[in-house]
Amino acid sequence: MSAGRLPTGLERRIAARYLRGRARGRFASLQTLIATGGVAVGVMALVVVLGVMNGLRDDLRERILLANPHLRVLTYGAGLRLDDWEAVLRRVRAEPGVVAAQPEVMTQSVITAGRDYAVGVNVLGFEGDTGTASAVALPGTIVSGDLALRPTRDDVDGAVVLGIRLAGKLSAYVGDVVQLVPPTPAKVNPALGVAVPRFWRLEVTGLFETGMYQYDEQFVVLRRDVAQRFAGLGDAVSGIAVRVHDPDRAPAIARGLEAALGYPYRTLDWQQQNANLFSALQLEKLAMGLIIFFIMVVAAFNIVGTLAMVVTDKTREIGILQAMGLTRGAIRRIFLAQGAFIGLVGTLAGLAGGLLVAFVVDRSGWIRINPAVYFIDRLPVHVEALDTLVVVVASLAVAVLATVYPAAVAARLTPVEAIRAE
């Protein structure tokens, strides 16, 4: 009987008996429960932590793409000015994989509702696609009013749609009037001798809510032609917003567009725009995973201790079994079976507990976080199959490896010395 074989039925029964302990000595059984519980806690923590990191990544990605296109076509330089955008737009729409493309205007301003409170905002000049879809998902985030950007009053310069948090800060809702300071140079008042900016009066015709704190508090939307006049661009735009059929293929499509358009055009995909954020999340996921994995390794020492106590407690029985013909390989497999059993039960219990906790936390949303710091207002949990498989395999591997030393010690016992042991 070779040591590499799986445990036989007899070996499994002996292993189970050793794990249960004797009726008058349940300490070994208690140690088994502690070792199994340690593995379970480690697996559960790892499943939940990895699920939280995946949830943060996926939720941030989804919310980022609500107000941002998958990629943008821009020009080199700091001016963000695209003059021949109509020809570029036709070429972009002809690119394979592009679902929608539209011209956009991006600028910055200061907004006020006339209540001695002003805040800096990002201004997006938005235009619906002439096709069947929009390059951004903002139309689906409107919670009040609409995105038609048509004012209902004559004493304003246009219509504006605000983020829901920004509207709350300004106490400006649908039908109210807000004022924006244009980025163009202010005219000098001859009487005062100072530059006096001209405020644009805009009627609030809609509110959007992406769930992303940064967008809901810092973005306002104008109609594209109004934004062009507001930014002083004339007929030019800032760039072309593009949506593709698969966000993960945006970098490849961006490279193709950049090669086709040539200088002075460049592309910027959503992964490049948020590279630091997603790299930090990936690094944090790796760090947290390693920390919890080391907790599992510590739990594995409980398995070593448990099996070492079994070896000490069952030394005479091991000697008797060897005298009856049980080989060293069989003794080794008995202890390997014990470790595998502890690892399997602990892993399954931890996996079930981790999946349950992840499900409850994700569905209930009862763990709230500060959106000003983390961009989102609740803790999402998304458990991925590959992560779960890695956790299960790692846990079982650690549990089995933890049995190597006690199994080797038990197998090295000689029958005569073992039977004489007290």
| Helix axes 275-313 and 27-67, enclosed angle (nearest 10) | 170
Report pLDDT digits (tens) over 44-71. 988 998 898 888 888 888 878 877 889 9
> In 10 A of CB 361, how many CB atoms?
19
DSSP assigned state of 144:
E
Do 258 and 112 reside in the same domain of the chain?
Answer: yes
pLDDT for 131: 43
Q: Per the domain annotation, does 2 fall within a domain?
A: no
Do 240 and 349 reside in the same domain of the chain?
Answer: no
- The residue-averaged pLDDT of 316-340 equals 78
Report pLDDT digits (tens) over 263-311. 889 999 988 888 787 788 788 888 888 888 887 787 778 778 777 777 7
DSSP assigned state of 23:
T
Report pLDDT digits (tens) over 97-144. 999 899 999 999 999 987 678 899 999 998 754 444 677 878 788 899
- The whole-angstrom separation of Cα 331 and Cα 11 is 8
DSSP assigned state of 377:
S
pLDDT for 1: 39
Phi-psi region of 198 (alpha: psi -120 to 50; beta: other; left: phi over 0): beta
Do 154 and 190 reside in the same domain of the chain?
Answer: yes
pLDDT for 256: 92
Q: Is residue 54 a contact partner of residue 406, using CB atoms and an 8 Å limit?
A: no
Do 345 and 385 reside in the same domain of the chain?
Answer: yes
Candidates 55, 40, 36; CA nearest to 392 is: 40
Q: Is residue 35 a contact partner of residue 346, using CB atoms and an 8 Å limit?
A: yes
Report pLDDT digits (tens) over 342-365. 889 999 999 999 999 999 988 887
Q: Per the domain annotation, does 177 fall within a domain?
A: yes
pLDDT for 195: 62
- The residue-averaged pLDDT of 189-207 equals 78
Structure tokens at 6: 């799986």
Backbone angles phi, psi at 386, to 5 degrees: -65, -45
Q: Is residue 326 a contact partner of residue 8, using CB atoms and an 8 Å limit?
A: no
Do 258 and 287 reside in the same domain of the chain?
Answer: no
Which of 239, 262, 285 is a domain's end point? 262
Do 169 and 133 reside in the same domain of the chain?
Answer: yes
> How many domains, in total, are found in the chain?
2
Contacts of 416 (CB under 8 A, 6+ apart): 319
Do 85 and 213 reside in the same domain of the chain?
Answer: yes
Name the pLDDT band for 221 (thresholds 50, 70, 90).
very high
Do 245 and 101 reside in the same domain of the chain?
Answer: yes
> In 10 A of CB 39, how many CB atoms?
28
Query: Can you give the residue range of the structural domain that contains 105?
Result: 77-262
Partners of 72 in beta bridges? 241, 268
Name the pLDDT band for 24 (thresholds 50, 70, 90).
very low
Do 231 and 289 reside in the same domain of the chain?
Answer: no
CA distances from 355 to 44, 47, 295, 341, 387 (A): 8, 7, 19, 21, 12
Name the pLDDT band for 419 (thresholds 50, 70, 90).
low
pLDDT for 257: 92
Give the β-pairing of 200-208 and 142-145.
antiparallel
Q: Which of 88-97, 208-217, 308-317, 397-406 has the highest mean pLDDT?
A: 88-97
- The residue-averaged pLDDT of 171-187 equals 84
- The residue-averaged pLDDT of 230-238 equals 89
Find tokens 């939280």 and name the residue.
Answer: 52
Candidates 82, 59, 134; CA nearest to 268 is: 82
